[in-house]
Amino acid sequence: MLILPFPPRRAFLRSFWLALSLSVGIIYGLFLALTHLLDWWETAVLVTVAMAIPGVIWSQMVIGLYRFWNRLMLPVGCGICVALLGLCYFTVFVVARLSKISLHRVPPTSTTGSFWIPRGILAPGAYAYQCAFDTPKTSRHHWVWTYVIWVKRSGHWWAVCLLPFLMLLAIIDPDRSSQHFQANIYTLF
Amino acid sequence: MTTHILGISAFYHDAAAALVRDGNIVAAAQEERFTRRKHDPSYPRNAIAYCLDEGGISAAELDYVVFYEKPLVKFERLLETYRAFAPQGFESFRKAFPLWAQYKLHIPREIRAGLGSNFRGQLCFSDHHESHAASAFFPSPFEEAAILTLDAVGEWSTSSIGVGRGNHITLTYEMRFPHSLGMLYSAFTYYTGFKVNSGEYKLMGLAPYGQPVYAEVIADKLVDLRDDGSFSLDMSYFNYCHGLTMTSEKFHRLFGGPPRLPESFLTQKEMDLAASIQVVCEEVVLRAARHVHRLTGTGHLVLAGGVALNCVANGRLLREGPFDRVWVQPAAGDAGGALGAALLVWHHLLGKSRYPQAQDSLQGAFLGPAFSNGEIGLFLDAVGARYEYISDERQLLDRVACVLGQEKVVGWFHGRMEYGPRALGARSIIGDARSPQMQQTMNLKIKFRESFRPFAPCVLHEFVDNVFEMRPNEESPYMLFVAPVRATWRLPLSPENGKRMQDPDLRVRVSVPRSKVPAITHVDYSARIQTVDPERHGRFYRLMEHFYELTGCPIIVNTSFNIRGEPIVCTPEDAYRCFMATDIDCLVLENYLLMKEAQPPGLLQDAEAYKSQFSLD
């Protein structure tokens, strides 16, 4: 979401310009308020409107700035993402590992017996869900709700700490290209 | 009331869609064929659009859409694995985790957005290995069969065994990540310099050149294999859990050096490694098959999962295993999961009956788009191609058989496109298997590769036991079984050819004629067989009959209609482009026949420019 869709539709250009005008208006208003100048509120509104109107009417004018925003946000987004991922991995995962909870699904080392593990088959009721057990109709809910339900039902309480990271990454990660999938070809995830 | 179920596999590799109407398979296709990007993993927008079009319905008429696995269970595996290895594995985590944040945790959103607001049906999620098992059992011709799925990894399962009876499958045992036969094979694929998830078949083709000298090392150090085919891997030799490579430094030390660089010269070491891992793989498959036979007591076996594409192992299973009949899903990899998931909803969720068909219900795997003569004619006129329209099929087939008999190469485009990785006579390049030059011509001038592998043969099904060591009328319609060429068809090695068989260059070795049909015979006299019958193959069978009448040979060479790195052609446009950029002599698009020498020179495509569109596989 930090990287805006390209090529842009007119509505995207207008929204971008409106958001930018509003931001400039707010910053300008805050500056006036902090410097104790009179009429800061009215002046900020006036600046916002004056800035917004030409961009809304002649939206093609904005395209250069729109492109510049994307160029600027690409390295910014990448940097923030790496920082977030590092923070997530070296705090949440390392701490979770230190808690000495093992890979509970991996079969125990067997010296004599079989490595085949008994398994069941999905109950018809479980087809509606993204995990193997019944939860509320998760497919119709927001993913955050689905995730929280899964954390609760699966017992992976520590995974709830990942939620803010997942939400931020969904917004900030600049690589929305499907080519990205190829990257995990060796890890097979 | 009619029930429409759409199965989808996506977001890993080989995205695909399949449409099932009241339990009957209407359509199935892989996304790569439409986007022209090999193993395309993205949401299968085009494949879905095709399936709906073939079914004559819109998204609003879909009752169920089913995704082929449980995303959150897979996510759990991901988290647990990283947790087990942290703080190692950050590089892998950096690549994998954003994908989940962006796409894989939002699969319902992606599917609903892709289908549009008209879709009002129910969204379902099956289990990865149940999808594989369903894709193998439900379309099979058996009322009852043992099931064996062998894969890299799904959610947690890497292999599973069970039984199918009537309209129900039961998977009773599984092996779990990271202990995976698919991963083990892929680790050797990586180590020998081939691309993981696509180069495994090359490793299999390399095996006959080597000796299994490393098999004992693999069994001693890497794999703890039990009598029942279950095994555990020593993970210190592998890096795939938390790294960006398949194998670890310890693995490299064990086998005497780093992985071979892709595209570099193949040495005897790689050949021996290929032979060794192939032996181990076959041993695992045979033991697991015997185990599931003991458990179920049934005489039939169905197979699916990526490892089920190892047709050398399948061939041994057919010849040596305890089962009377073996049926393998032709789209055994993840693409087949789309079909399996859709069939699971029909039989398991809705509890509908199943009626096995004498051959199978997969219609020869011809489940993709077809193009009419009218559409093809319009296209050919638009591009200014020179063609003959031959309305009489007999006359057309006579002409094509004659062209084949002159050792020319034919691009054959007829009927519905195949589902799965093999060209089975709908989108094929065909040639005369007797020609000693055919292999080299097809490889260098058409496929643009220097291959050490021979091509696959198509054989009239009534001759299968005459040419190959198979039982009379034994079926292999999906090119999934390897069998030896019979001694009567083999050629003795002259002293000169004996010397050539020692040449370090595999292209020299593969060019030594080993049988009366050298283009399809590997150095160990094996061949990857496709039997062709009139019910499944129709016109393609009749073409082979014409060729047999003309030449007395019931075999032709069949290879996929593409060049290296390119997905198999889907449309007449794709086929014509490939024809004009390669040295294919003749193109048959339904009833249109095009000869290369008759084409306007201005329409010829630059081969280099064409090749550059596709990355090497």
Q: Which of A63-77, B32-46, B170-184 has the lowest average pLDDT?
A: A63-77
Q: Nearest-CA distance from A179 to chain B in Å?
A: 8
| Confidence check: pLDDT of A185 > 60 | no
The answer to whether B175 contacts A107, with C-beta atoms less than 8 Å apart, is yes
CB of A153 less than 8 A from some CB of B: no
What pLDDT, on the 0 to 100 scale, is given for residue A184? 44
The answer to whether B101 contacts A121, with C-beta atoms less than 8 Å apart, is no
Measured between alpha carbons, how far is residue B12 from residues A128, B32, B178, B337, B393 in Å? 21, 13, 17, 12, 42
Query: Given the structure tokens 């600049």, which residue do they identify?
Result: A174
Considering only alpha carbons, which residue of chain A is nearest residue B178?
A106
> Which of the residue ranges A109-113, A139-143, A178-182, B127-131 has the most confident prediction, judged by mean pLDDT?
B127-131
CB of A177 less than 8 A from some CB of B: no
A82 neighbourhood in chain B, CB within 8 Å: 94
3-state secondary structure of B213: coil
Residues 29-68 of A with CB under 8 A from B: none
Residue A56 DSSP symbol: H
Strand B122-125, strand B64-67: pairing: parallel
| pLDDT tens for each residue of B236-287 | 999 999 888 899 999 999 999 999 998 899 999 999 999 999 999 999 999 9
Residue B529 lies in a domain: yes
Of A110, A124, A129, the CB nearest to B125: A129
Quickly list DSSP for B394-415: HHHHHHHHHHHHTT--EEEE-S
Nearest of A42, A49, A59, A1 to residue A22 by alpha carbon:
A49
| Confidence check: pLDDT of A132 > 80 | no
Confidence of residue A108 (pLDDT cuts 50, 70, 90): low
Alpha carbons B548 and B565: distance in angstroms, whole number = 32
Residue B435 lies in a domain: yes
What pLDDT, on the 0 to 100 scale, is given for residue A187? 58
| The one-letter amino acid at A48 | T
Give yes or no for a contact between B259 and B285, defined as CB atoms under 8 angstroms apart: no
| pLDDT tens for each residue of B84-111 | 998 999 988 988 898 899 889 999 999 9
Measured between alpha carbons, how far is residue A66 from residues A2, A16, A170, B24, B131 in Å? 12, 7, 21, 50, 45
Give yes or no for a contact between B125 and B70, defined as CB atoms under 8 angstroms apart: yes
A106 neighbourhood in chain B, CB within 8 Å: 176-178
Confidence of residue A112 (pLDDT cuts 50, 70, 90): low
- What percentage of chain B exceeds 90 in pLDDT? 86
What pLDDT, on the 0 to 100 scale, is given for residue A178? 45
Measured between alpha carbons, how far is residue B394 from residues B324, B344, B546, B586 in Å? 38, 42, 9, 17
Contacts for B305 with CB less than 8 Å, ≥ 6 apart: B129, B132, B149, B150, B151, B159, B182, B332, B333
Domain count along chain B: 1
What pLDDT, on the 0 to 100 scale, is given for residue A104? 46
3-state secondary structure of B102: helix
| pLDDT tens for each residue of B410-462 | 999 999 999 999 999 999 999 999 999 999 889 888 888 878 888 999 999 99
Nearest of B453, B437, B416 to residue B559 by alpha carbon:
B453
Alpha carbons B7 and B344: distance in angstroms, whole number = 10
Q: Which of A129-143, A161-175, B95-109, B241-255 has the lowest average pLDDT?
A: A129-143
Give the pLDDT mean for B499-517.
Answer: 90
* Alpha helical stretches, state H, B410-494: 438-440, 464-467
Q: Nearest-CA distance from B395 to chain A in Å?
A: 47
Q: Which of A114-128, B264-278, B299-313, B419-433 has the lowest average pLDDT?
A: A114-128
Inter-chain CB pairs, A–B, below 8 Å: 207
3-state secondary structure of A43: helix
What pLDDT, on the 0 to 100 scale, is given for residue A183? 45
B524, burial (CB in 10 Å: exposed 0-12, middle 13-18, buried 19+): middle
CA-based end-to-end distance of chain A: 24
The answer to whether B80 contacts A109, with C-beta atoms less than 8 Å apart, is no
Residue B534 lies in a domain: yes
* Residue A183 or B298, more confident: B298
CB of A139 less than 8 A from some CB of B: yes
Considering only alpha carbons, which residue of chain B is nearest residue A84?
B94
Q: Secondary structure of B496-558 in the HEC alphabet?
A: HHHHHCCCCCHHHHHCCCCECCHHHCCCCCEEEEEEECHHHHCHHHHHHHHHHHHHCCCEEEE
Q: Which domain holds residue B541?
A: 373-611
A85 neighbourhood in chain B, CB within 8 Å: 90, 93-94, 97-98
Residue A24 DSSP symbol: H
Give the pLDDT mean for A57-73.
Answer: 86
Residue A109 DSSP symbol: P
Query: Given the structure tokens 């892998």, which residue do they identify?
Result: B92
Residue B14 lies in a domain: no
A130 neighbourhood in chain B, CB within 8 Å: 70-73, 107-108, 125
Rounded to the nearest 5 degrees, what angle is found at the Cα of B335, between the Cα atoms of A184 and B110? 65
Residue B283 lies in a domain: no
Region for residue B290 given its phi and psi (left: phi exceeds 0; alpha: psi -120 to 50; beta: otherwise): alpha
A4, burial (CB in 10 Å: exposed 0-12, middle 13-18, buried 19+): middle
Alpha carbons B196 and B198: distance in angstroms, whole number = 5
Alpha carbons B334 and B340: distance in angstroms, whole number = 10
Residue B106 lies in a domain: no
Q: Which of A174-183, B412-421, B465-474 has the lowest average pLDDT?
A: A174-183
Handedness of CA B104, B105, B111, B113 (dihedral sign): negative
Q: How far is CA B573 from the centre of its chain?
A: 23
| Confidence check: pLDDT of A31 > 90 | no
Residue B56 lies in a domain: no
Give the pLDDT mean for B192-212.
Answer: 93
List the CATH number of the domain containing B487: 3.90.870.20
B-interface mutation test, from A99, A100, A130, most B Cβ less than 10 A away:
A130
Residue B450 lies in a domain: yes
Q: How far is CA B532 from the centre of its chain?
A: 17
A-interface mutation test, from B125, B129, B240, B344, most A Cβ less than 10 A away:
B125
Of B101, B126, B197, the CB nearest to A127: B126
| Confidence check: pLDDT of B68 > 80 | yes
The answer to whether B99 contacts A181, with C-beta atoms less than 8 Å apart, is yes
Give the pLDDT mean for B150-165.
Answer: 95
Confidence of residue B568 (pLDDT cuts 50, 70, 90): very high
